[in-house]
Amino acid sequence: MVEKKYELVKDDVKEWCGKTLFRIRALKDFSVFKKGVFGGYVESEKNLTQEGNAWVSNNARVSGDACVSGNAWVSNNARVSGDACVSGNAWVSNNARVLGNAWVSGNARVSGNAWVSGNARVSGNARVSGNAWVSGNARVSDNARVSGNASVSGNARVSGDAWVYDARVSGHVKIDFILRSKFNFKSQEQLDKWLELEKQFLEVI
């Protein structure tokens, strides 16, 4: 049987979205956390594994059937809910939201006011920050960055060393390059045409 690393503090609760969440308290030293230190809030022990170094800290909240496992860390005012999972060495911080069936794994980071929802996946060393949204069946992986007011949705794929800043990408678009734009790309054909026009423009100047 796994030795418990934390307990629910029954007299320190918060009501959130119709659910009662309990503050957690470490029962032993592990990772950078000391026995007795208080963490964030969870609805039940199923939200945070008793194994590994995973932790919920500050005012962060994890509820529903969401889970935080491995060495993952949810901190600040972040929220993880629904059936979402944060695992591996992933971090979710600041005011970020991970909900629905979304997964954040590997060494991925979701921060700022970013949202990851639906069946979206953020993995590898990917970063989602600012006011960015990743939703639907979108995938952000490898060393990719999604930031600013960017939106990646539908079946879009952002990978490699790609950086999507402010642009809105949906459909079956695949990006593995830097894309800074205010445009809304709904198909690979549309994106390819825009890239060709940009290339022609740069050749002229």
pLDDT for the residue numbered 195: 62
**Res. 82 pLDDT band, cuts 50 70 90:** very high
> CATH class for domain 113-205?
mainly beta
Query: Over 90: is that where the pLDDT of 152 sits?
Result: yes
Q: What are the strands of the beta sheet with 79-80, ordered from one edge?
A: 6-16, 19-26, 38-42, 61-62, 79-80, 97-98, 115-116, 133-134, 151-152, 168-169, 184-185
pTM: 0.91
**Res. 197 pLDDT band, cuts 50 70 90:** low
Query: Over 70: is that where the pLDDT of 10 sits?
Result: yes
Hey, where are the domains in the chain?
Answer: 1-98, 113-205
pLDDT for the residue numbered 203: 52
